[in-house]
Amino acid sequence: MFEILKPKVYINSVYNIDLRKLKKTKKIKGIIVDLDNTLVAWGQKEVSQKTIDWVKEAKRLGFKICIVSNTNSKRVAEFAKIFNIPYHSKYFKPFSIAFNNGLKILDTKKSETVVIGDQIFTDIWGGNRLKLLTILVVPIVKKDSIGTFLHRNLEKIFISFWLRRSIIKKEVGNWPK
Ligand SMILES: [Mg+2]
């Protein structure tokens, strides 16, 4: 039950994703990444150099990477410019059209694409529906939009239930091992 909401991987942050191994052992070529609370703190205008370097490294390793975000287009466009990567923000996650547009931008197959995000009801649900590899990260900050408040409480219930029953585990250190 609720299989569609369950992330394939649950991890602290994007930095714990071993990009080399993701490419080599999981055969991933494309990254669809969320913006708020995945790459940058919600409501913040700045992004850390560490995150800029992470995106750079992904590109250097040959990944195609794009932001798919439900945040307003102007904000997404500004960050996409900083990262120098394409973005999609016209259609909302978890609707498949948002992810399909991401796939179109990347020009990768579903089987070689990963979705990385901090929300079960948008990033993970949508990614799972299209059978993409889904990685849930812990939100960068606890602050969030009002609309997300209810989701957050539900998410906590799901995550603690899965963890308690060992249905998912939180990856310690880097992943894939
Ligand atoms: Mg987010």
C-alpha of residue 96 to centroid of ligand 1, in Å: 17
C-alpha of residue 13 to centroid of ligand 1, in Å: 12
Q: Which domain holds residue 49?
A: 3-164
C-alpha of residue 66 to centroid of ligand 1, in Å: 14
Residue at 170 is within a domain: no
Q: What is the pLDDT of residues 107-164, one digit of tens each?
A: 999 999 999 999 999 999 999 999 999 999 999 998 887 777 788 889 999 999 999 9
Supply the CATH number for residue 53's domain.
3.40.50.1000
> For the chain, what is the domain count?
1
- Considering only residues 145 and 70, tell me which one the structure prediction assigns the higher pLDDT: 70
Distance between CA atoms of 127 and 130, rounded to whole angstroms?
5
| pLDDT band, very low/low/confident/very high, at 1 (cuts 50, 70, 90) | low
Residue 99 tokens read as 């992810």
Residue at 122 is within a domain: yes
Residue at 174 is within a domain: no
Residue at 63 is within a domain: yes
Residue at 133 is within a domain: yes
Predicted TM-score (pTM) of the model is 0.96
C-alpha of residue 87 to centroid of ligand 1, in Å: 14
The DSSP code for 47 is: -
Supply the DSSP string of 135-153, one letter for each residue.
EEE--SSS---GGGHHHHH
Q: Peptide bond before 7: cis, by omega within 30 degrees of 0?
A: no
Residue at 81 is within a domain: yes
